Amino acid sequence: MTNTLRQAQIEFGDFQTPLELAKRVCQKLNELGVSPVTVIEPTCGVGAFVEASATTFPNAKKIIGVEVNKVYLDELENRKKRFVQSERINLMQGDFFDFKWKSLFDDEGSLLIIGNFPWVTNSQQGAIGGANLPTKINFQNHNGFDAMTGKSNFDISEWMLIQAANWMRNRHGYLAMLVKTSVARKFLRHLHSEKIGVLRSVIYSIDAKYYFDVSVEACLLFCEFDVESHNYDYDIYESLDATKSQRVGHRNGITVRDLNTFERLSKYYGRSKTKWRSGIKHDCSDVMEFQKMGESYMNGLGETVEIESTYLYPLLKGSDVANNRINKTNRYTLVTQKAVGEPTSAIKKLAPKTWDYLESHAKYLNERKSRIYQDNPQFSIFGVGSYTFAPYKIAICGLYKKLAFQLIRQIEDKPVVFDDTVYFLSFNTEQEANKIFSILSSPLARDFYSALIFWDEKRPIKSSVLNSLNLQQFESTQVLRLF
């Protein structure tokens, strides 16, 4: 493929569905009792779903395909003559983002929105200078500008799915889309939070490597919309042929991957006295992190630096925590505050070399983009409080696909700090830390957390998940006696 073609493929998220898969999807819809009067394929490409729908839904009165790419549309226009009852098929060139969709939904009767939206995120488009984006949007509280500048990343398909759900707000209809599984879950969460009428939803995993030659978790997302119904639990099947499913749902603001286990262990759900925190955020590791080289320190800019150890704390990164490298380190972080918002001017007196270092590197720190730095003392950091300086911690890295807690003690008589990929609990006594570590390592806690974690996510372990286990509940049960 030439570079230009590849760029166009990325901008338009262009992965045409093989006819074999489109047919299998339509057959699945048949099995689910779907019998639409109108079928719409909003980004129809060369038309695998238009063709499969024509074959599978003989009772459909209209089959409409919309596509932005004229070459695809012309090709489909030529082929469609061979499709079953081809006079029902109406093809239109249009851009999803400014197409007048409402005009297509005037008819009574069941509507099926089917297809495979573009597979691309706004920031991938930003990287190639693509412009295939909605122009004026306020998407999930991200404003259009953030979306355009790539500040917040979202899948174009998620935005399209939400539009399709809006079409269904006041009518009966079906949605059947091939999408990334993470997008499907976010969308189903959106239906729940917006209370959009849904009768049933299902996710069927598909083998994206086999059908599209891409390594991504993808699925067929199926929803039946119905104004009167509000059923937001859904089933996940491992394939279109699987007969066993897992029930997923939304409880107390979190998405539960395994409702059966969660319900069995529901008495452990709740807030603990202590809260999981995330590591320090300073957004400038080149200046704020050091490696010890003999008696001096080297920063991320490669400069050898002479500063006091007063404000330096041993640092364990997420990868250290995940790989059990927790007893020593040669990395240090400059921790300029004991609490968020604390004035930093005291550093000048207590550690003059550190202050000079910060001043001479102020340009890097002042360039930190987030607005939070602008409203706080110079050289501020975030994610600090008394919990940062406690001597014992239990930590886990949010990015790794394993539930491995670590009990961490001081290093060189100083409390250990973490980067912001790590979540931790802090303790003043080793005894208390040991007790909670035993609870977290128990099969019960593991089962509880496993019921809430989606391992295909970029950051599968989240503070909302960790904080949903009530550790005190264990103290009043038998579990502790096992240890």
Ligand X SMILES: C[S@@+](CC[C@H](N)C(=O)[O-])C[C@H]1O[C@@H](n2cnc3c(N)ncnc32)[C@H](O)[C@@H]1O
- What's the min distance (Å) between Cβ of 159 and ligand X? 10
β-bridge pairing 38-41 and 111-115: parallel
Cβ-based nearer residue to ligand X, 74 or 359: 74
- Whether the CB-CB separation of 438 and 227 falls below 8 Å is answered with no
> At its nearest, how many Å lie between ligand X and the CB of residue 201?
20
Distance (Å, whole) CA 322 – CA 327: 13
> Which residue, 12 or 400, has its beta carbon nearer to ligand X?
12
Residue with the CB atom nearest ligand X in the bound state = 45
Coil vs helix vs strand at 119: coil
Structure tokens at 477: 């049960």
Closest to ligand X by CB, 23 or 317: 23
Q: Nearer Cβ to ligand X, position 65 or 249? A: 65
- Minimum CB separation of residue 63 from ligand X in Å reads 13
Q: How far is the CB of 177 from ligand X (least distance, A)?
A: 9
Dump the DSSP string for 135-198: SS-EETTEEHHHHHTTSS--BHHHHHHHHHHHHTTTS-EEEEEEEEHHHHHHHHHHHHHHT--E
Smallest gap from Cβ 4 to ligand X, in A, equals: 15
Name the pairing type of β-strands 304-305 and 234-237: unpaired
Minimum separation from the CB atom of position 457 to ligand X (A): 22
Closer by beta carbon to ligand X, 44 or else 408: 44
Residue for token pair 């089959």: 63
CA pair distance 438, 428, nearest whole angstrom: 17
Q: Which is nearer to ligand X, 95 or 306 (CB)?
A: 95
CB of 67 to ligand X, least distance (A): 5
Name the burial class of residue 344, with classes exposed (0-12), middle (13-18) and buried (19+) by CB atoms within 10 angstroms of its CB: middle
**Cα 58 from Cα 55, distance rounded (Å):** 7
Cα 184 to chain centroid distance, Å, stands at 11
- Identify the three-state secondary structure at position 111: strand
Task: Give the nearest distance from C-beta 467 to ligand X in angstroms.
Answer: 37
Closer to ligand X by Cβ: residue 95 or 367: 95
Give the interface with ligand X as residue ranges (CB under 6 A): 12-17, 43-45, 48-49, 67-69, 72, 95-97, 115-116, 118-119, 132
